[in-house]
Amino acid sequence: TDLELINLKSPARARNILAQVAGSIAVAEAKANFEHRDLHWGNVLIQTLKDNENESNWNYDIDLEHRMLVPLDGFEVCIIDYTLSRLEMDNELFFTPLDSDSYFTQTGDYQFDIYRKMKTITKQNWAGYYPRTNVLWLDYLCHKLLELIAKSKVAQNGRRRSARFISFEEKDRDTEELEL
């Protein structure tokens, strides 16, 4: 289930989701000068684990001196869609230039602000390595996780709480919600 469709009830689960994503990105940065460049919430999948896997941990070996241990807490995160990503592997550079103006002209979601911020950071040098773009996407995911928590609290209370900084969009999808 993608992150956009889950029913997130716990700030601890949100922290765990963010830790799993950040750990994965940190390892990829260290090993391949990696940038995802399109890490919106539809590109983060959540999978519920079997009972015997619930006590497992992910060990993120970032480099020889840094390791990150994240408890799975009953689910694991999978990052998908590397179409716009940038990485270096076996002395080769792989990247996709964001040449289409559609990335930078759309409005209505924080996701589109991230594309514009990436354009500023990279100065449209899409071959260059700018790990700050990953930080922008982690900030985006923090915002979305906060929205999911607030949305869940609104549903639990049966009424809408006022929150100046959070907005919600109702989804008309024919899928099951995953509760975390």
Q: Which residues are catalytic?
A: 38
Helix (H, G, I), strand (E, B) or coil at 135: helix
Straight-line distance from the first to the last Cα atom of the chain, in angstroms, rounded to the nearest whole number: 11
Helix (H, G, I), strand (E, B) or coil at 67: strand
Integer Cα distance of 21 and 76 in angstroms: 10
Q: Which residues contact 75 (CB under 8 A, 6 or more apart)?
A: 13, 16, 46, 47, 48, 49, 180
* Token code pair at residue 40: 């919106």
Integer Cα distance of 100 and 83 in angstroms: 14
Helix (H, G, I), strand (E, B) or coil at 85: coil
Beta strands at 75-79 and 44-48: parallel, antiparallel or unpaired? antiparallel
